[in-house]
Chain A
Amino acid sequence: MLGALASQILQVAVALALAPLLVGWVDQCRAWLSNRRAPSILLPYRTIHKLFVKDAVVADNASPLFRLAPYVVFGAMACAAAIVPSLGTALPFGTAADTIALVGLFALARVFIALAAMDIGTAFGTLGARREMFIGFLAEPALLMVLFTASLISGSTSLPTIVDTLAHGPLGIYPSLAFAGVAFTMVSLAENARVPIDNPATHLELTMIHEAMLLEYSARHLALLEWASALKLFNYSCIGLALFVPFGVASGANALAILGAAPVLIAKLAVGGALLALIETLSAKLRIFRAPEFLATAFLLAVLAMLVKLLLGA
């Protein structure tokens, strides 16, 4: 039990520490792919550090909700990191919360950040919040469908169990997971405010979704939110890896196995991050009203995955 607890704490710590690195890596890959010289991979850490040492400026008419939201969002993302098996499946916390709770955690963060964005009453915050909820309500069902497909295969909605089944059970090839994988990639792009749905690098306030909601934040609040979005990307990447390439994740609380899983995780994240950068470089941003088509496609693929599993048992 003590080992499991250590494994749990280690995984959250790894997530908190590595998340900005993943963002830095994706930014580096994006720069290389467009023939630019890349910024340092440590840039996100420096940004977060810089923001933490600055003095916070808060709008006069901000309510306590506005100040609270960054902590709630960060907390939710850290919690999610405790549920997603990134290094090992021995997660005591995992039994307390399954995939549905995980989607709920993401939704909680979304609701808080959207409320905080509307709290100040600026046009951009409201605009961003509205768009965020619009994207969210299209993305969430697709995400749930993907997770249900994996749950059907393993007969459990608990992520550690799913990973155990897929990684350590009898080797099986699941066509349903192929559909689910594509659907999950699309949902991840939308949920993490990446091109083609949103553009994390834009400075055009009228086109922003995620960034528009953060416009009023500064200093430690902004640092927490930046860190939380890095964590979100990390979590989504780990969910994707857990569902579709679960190999190398340690089962049980064996310290050696968990340490061995770390390089595998980093390698998988590096490849995943590079692929994300490739997708972003090759795409232009969609018009916002094309987002429903994009996410409906994701939903359709997720439903197909489930049907393949249910009807064909594959």
Chain B
Amino acid sequence: MDLTPLGLVAAPLAAGVPGQRAQASSGQLLTACRLAWENDGRLVAMWGTDERYRQRGFGLRVVVEDREGLTLLEHTLPDDRARYPDVTPIFPAANRMQRATFDLLGIAAEADDTRPWLWAESHATREFPLRRDYTVSEPQASRQDEYEFVRVDGEGVHEIAVGPVHAGIIEPGHFRFQVVGEKVLRLEERLGYTHKGVEKRFASCSIDEGEKLAGRICGDSTVAYAWAYAQAVESAAGVLPPVRARWLRALCLERERLANHLGDLGAIGNDAGFAFGLAQFSRLREDVLRANATAFGHRLLMDVVVPGGVAQDLAFEHVHAMHDEAGRIARQVRRIREIYDEHAGVQDRFRGAGRASPELARTMGLVGLAGRASGEAHDLRCEYPCSPYDLLDVRMAVQSAGDVWARVAVRFDEALESARLLGIITTALLDPATMSPVQCALPSRTSANVAIGYVEGWRGPVMMALELDDDWTIRRCRPQDPSWCNWPVIEHAVIGNIVADFPLINKSFNLAYSGQDL
């Protein structure tokens, strides 16, 4: 995106993908967002930061992505009475980000929707934990009942409240349905039940402790988060990890993708009442996780990716085992895919359920796996391949139907593609050309104060933004899960479906709770 016509001075952004950053006034912020939108762009993240201690008031950061990469727009508010422009008319996904920014920092947008997003439960709404002068106060009485859901009136319309405590053992989220009979007229989500102050915690972490915390933001995407964090740190340091570390990272990321896709494919089958699929895919996923535990000492590969490289090398026997395993899993996945495809009952449940049309996906900024199932052909591994993906030639899986079936099809394609990539990666790891140390040292001073890591996790692009002092003190760290952009789309995708199909539709998106509540 060319910012010069807006009168903005763009500086290069230290990031894993092409990027630029610019200071923007409120008018320029809106124009830049509009320009990004017209340039096929979408909102990636929005967060605030308290810079009063540096006499800079409050900072608002907006990251947009378009065909040319990331643009970080930095806006300054003199005090907490100032407002920044509402960008929801351009990017609907901004609604919850703006509300969460207010809950955490107390700076508000010029928006109509001022309901709290995170703070309805047991916290005073006028206390803002991300301010540097915040002190912890006593928890207060629950204020959950005050939250105003949008209601639908009419003959025979009634409300179904689901969660945050569910009949099964799943993460907490509240879903408020307005239904007539079995048909859903409206759904409103309410998240934030697992907010635990991750961003506040980052501010007291050293750069190495930060890696541990980053790997625990979202357990199912721990490699993606750890890599995004490491990428941000390495961008700020201006170093590139050794070649073997890069191959090992790709190995971990693809194994994480494969394990999650296998788990989801089984769980989606199970939600359609096809328990056979769950049993088969659970077994395959378990094979992958156990091989992880044997080779790396952790089933989900936590703490394998560290700033500067990876924590440990992989023994040759494990590389060989993973090579064979990839081929075996691909064969079995193909076989079960035939069963899914030929099962009339399963196909009847999948087809047409929870449709997010390509137009809706574009308008709402649907990203990642769900986006690719609705025709949004974006995959960081293809568009901005970082090493070693530049050598891998990843084949992007895209569908345009946007229903449960399409999300299942994309998962199948990506699982098989990951298995293929794992075959190539394991071969490369046996190549003498990739023999090198697996870690490099970081310089004692940073070369950039703002850096962004951006990695295609299995759910979608995971972003880690770091604001650092020269001596590596973390001023602010913002992890951004793709779920922020995708949760609002579910509210639209279920309209007109029957209530009983919601769990299936929700599972086909399988978005993060804890990873987005932070």
Q: CB within 8 Å of B: which residues of A? A: 30, 33-36, 123-124, 127, 195-196, 199, 201-208, 211, 215, 280-290
Contact = CB atoms under 8 A, between A and B. Distances in A.
Interface string B249-276: 0000000000000000000010111111
B501 A287 contact: yes
B209 to A, nearest CB: 37
Contact of B345 (A30, A123, A196, A208): A196
A78 B283 CA distance: 41
A33 B276 contact: yes
B275 A34 contact: yes
A288 B500 contact: yes
Contacts of B504: 207
Per CB-CB distance, the 9 closest pairs between chain A and chain B, nearest first, are: A285-B273, A203-B168, A284-B345, A34-B279, A204-B503, A123-B160, A205-B167, A284-B274, A284-B346
A36 B500 CA distance: 27
A284 B349 contact: yes
B132 interface: no
B500 A283 contact: no
A290 B346 CA distance: 13
A281 B167 contact: no
Given A35-B283, A287-B348, A206 B275 contact: no
Interface in B373-409: none
27 contacts: A34-B278, A123-B158, A123-B161, A127-B499, A195-B273, A202-B273, A203-B166, A203-B167, A203-B169, A205-B167, A206-B499, A206-B500, A206-B503, A207-B271, A207-B500, A207-B504, A215-B167, A280-B275, A284-B343, A285-B272, A285-B274, A285-B345, A285-B349, A286-B273, A286-B348, A288-B498, A290-B348
A79 to B, nearest CB: 31
Given A123-B161, A289-B498, A36 B182 contact: no
A280 B504 CA distance: 19
Nearest to B278: A34
Contacts of B9: none
Given A204-B167, A207-B503, A281 B280 contact: no
Interface of B: 158-162, 166-169, 182, 269, 271-276, 278-280, 283, 343, 345-346, 348-349, 498-504
A206 B162 contact: yes
Contacts of A205: 162, 166-168
A195 to B, nearest CB: 5
Given A34-B279, A283-B273, 8 more contacts: A34-B280, A35-B280, A206-B502, A207-B500, A208-B167, A284-B272, A285-B274, A286-B273
Contacts of B271: 204, 207
B273 A196 contact: yes
Contacts of A207: 271, 500, 503-504
Given A123-B160, A196-B345, A287 B498 contact: yes
Contacts of A124: 160
Dominant secondary structure of chain A at its interface with chain B: loop
A290 B348 CA distance: 10
A207 B503 CA distance: 8
A36 B279 contact: yes
Nearest to B502: A206
A34 B129 CA distance: 50
Given A33-B276, A123-B159, A204 B499 contact: no
A83 B235 CA distance: 79
Contacts of A282: 276
A204 B269 CA distance: 13
Residue among B158, B271, B343 with the highest chain A CB neighbour number at 10 A = B271
Given A123-B160, A127-B499, A290-B348, A284 B279 contact: no
Nearest to A203: B168
Contacts of A286: 273, 345, 348
A303 B343 CA distance: 29
A49 B271 CA distance: 29
Contacts of B161: 123
Nearest to A34: B279
B160 A127 contact: yes
Contacts of B499: 127, 206
A287 B352 CA distance: 12
Nearest to A211: B167
Contact of B273 (A199, A206, A211): A199
Contacts of B349: 284-285, 287
A284 B167 CA distance: 21
Contacts of A281: 275-276
A281 B269 CA distance: 12
Contacts of B158: 123
A31 to B, nearest CB: 8
Question: Which of A202, A281, A287 has the most chain B CB atoms closer than 10 A to its own CB?
Answer: A287
Nearest to B276: A34
A275 B161 CA distance: 38
A94 to B, nearest CB: 37
Contacts of A30: 275
Tell which of B158, B168, B273, B501 has the most Cβ of chain A within 10 Å.
B273
Nearest to B160: A123
A285 B314 CA distance: 44
Contacts of A283: 273-274, 345
Contacts of A127: 160, 499
Nearest to B353: A287
A199 B500 CA distance: 12
A137 to B, nearest CB: 15
A9 B162 CA distance: 45
Contacts of A196: 273, 345
A123 B176 CA distance: 11
A176 B292 CA distance: 59
Contacts of B167: 203-205, 208, 211, 215
Contact of A201 (B166, B275, B500, B502): B275
A123 B177 CA distance: 10
A208 B269 CA distance: 16
A238 B500 CA distance: 32
A311 to B, nearest CB: 33
A142 B174 CA distance: 40
A57 B166 CA distance: 18
Contacts of A123: 158-162
Nearest to A199: B273
B424 to A, nearest CB: 30
Nearest to B271: A204
A205 B275 CA distance: 17
B184 to A, nearest CB: 10
B408 to A, nearest CB: 13
Nearest to B181: A130
A222 to B, nearest CB: 14
Contacts of A208: 167
Contacts of B269: 284
A208 B503 CA distance: 11
